[in-house]
Structure 1
Amino acid sequence: MKNQRGFTIAELIIVIIIAGVLAAIAAPNMSEFVKNNSRANRVNTMVSALNYARGQAVTRNTRVSLCKSAAFANCDAAGTGDFGTGWIVFIDGNTRGIVDGVAPNNDTVLRIFQPDMGNNATLTGVKNVVSITMAGLSYENTGLGLDLNAAAGDTVVSPNTVFRYCDDRGAAEARGIVITPTGYPRLTRDTNGDGTDDIGGTNLVCP
């Protein structure tokens, strides 16, 4: 019969030390992986919402707007443009930039988006309301949609708008969503090779 023996105290200590070293090496990489995955999920959620809004505007042949909303019943008042609490996509038939029941085009919430924000992450927009029509895209801080075709009295405010995602790693890991005048969202890139995403050479900045 063979003798059986366990680990000695010295061997156990060596195993614990090795395990600790490996954990110390793996922990930062795992943390980066989790943050990168969270960033991708949240940015992709906004891109999906914008694509959905554009598709609904084309399908329904009406204005469809996306706005920040904490209660998911109406648009939040103009302010910081922080979409971290969530947002809604709604039919904005009367082009008021809010969800209301004003005839003849009673507004309807089409979809609710509620991201799970963490890592001190923020998702902010330079505008509080984004409105999409058959003609393209329009924006206005107070929520009053402006038509891209510049109908009587309307003015095109900007050729594009931006959503910016930041977490506790700062601007070097920030990502932006640029919406073209035709309503298509695209992700920002590091075009000047300095390690930070930019828009036309201007780097994204985090709070």
Structure 2
Amino acid sequence: MKQQKGVTLVELMVTVSIVAIILAFVTPSIQSILIKNRIVAEINEISSLIQYARHHAIDEQAQVVVCPSDDYSVCTEDWNKPKIVFIDSDDNEIRGEDEELLVSVSATSETSLMTNTNDTIKFSETGEANLANEILLCHKDKEAKYARSLSITLQGRVKMSTDSDKDGVNENAAGTPLSC
């Protein structure tokens, strides 16, 4: 008698059912991990940009501006736009023809929302910021568990939000839970 190889229809249906059940539980977790990783990557990018601007202000002994801009010249209020860094020799928050664009980063992803307490971030020759800033980055669904922030002190220090109480929501430098 010849032995058959393969699986029966019942075995195949049971296997497919088990795989479907596993995927139903794993997929939301994977999506959450991907969202968190994207937010962290974006907040790290803006943190690097700000730290670069501060160090450049100190190194060049010049006022350096970080701001969002549509045209890479005039600063706007929308922090979801591309961000630019330039030496602002004439202190007008507009990058003139003689003011070199030091660096820029692309716009915030379509799934994220970025806000700042101020329109621009200015660093003086000593690395001090003109105003304290709080940059908040949220996912488009506005769930607090995905929110991240950067606090820029008057001394120019950049501090990233942390979840110090381990409740799943990050807190800013003042210890206040982030909300979108």
Tell me the distance in 2 between the aligned counterparts of 1:116 and 1:183.
23
Match of 1:166 among 138, 144, 154: 138
Aligned length: 178
* 1:202 aligned onto 2:179: no
Specify the alignment match of 1:148 in structure 2.
Answer: none
Cα 1:193–1:27, aligned 2, differ >3 Å: closer, same or farther? closer
Kept after mapping to 2: 8 A contact 1:82/1:122? no
Structure 2 gaps of 5+ residues are none
Instruction: Provide Cα deviations, 1:36-93, integer angstroms capped at 9, x if missing partner.
Output: 11011000000000011011111211111001112323322xxxx4312211001111
Q: Normalising by structure 2, what TM-score?
A: 0.88
Kept after mapping to 1: 8 A contact 2:150/2:172? no
Instruction: Provide Cα deviations, 1:100-134, integer angstroms capped at 9, x if missing partner.
Output: 24xxxx31111110045143x11111111111112
Specify the alignment match of 2:106 in structure 1.
Answer: 114
**Displacement after TM superposition at 1:164 (Å):** 0.3
Kept after mapping to 2: 8 A contact 1:92/1:107? yes
Specify the alignment match of 2:128 in structure 1.
Answer: 137
Q: Map of 1:1-207 to 2, 5 A cutoff? A: 3-76=3-76, 81-101=77-97, 106-119=98-111, 121-139=112-130, 158=131, 160-167=132-139, 168-191=141-164, 195-196=168-169, 197-206=171-180
Q: Normalising by structure 1, what TM-score?
A: 0.77
Cα 1:194–1:24, aligned 2, differ >3 Å: closer, same or farther? closer
Tell me the distance in 2 between the aligned counterparts of 1:111 and 1:49.
8
Q: Identity across aligned pairs (percent)?
A: 26
Amino acid in the other structure paired with 1:48? S
Over the aligned positions, Cα root-mean-square deviation in angstroms equals 2.1
Cα 1:16–1:137, aligned 2, differ >3 Å: closer, same or farther? same
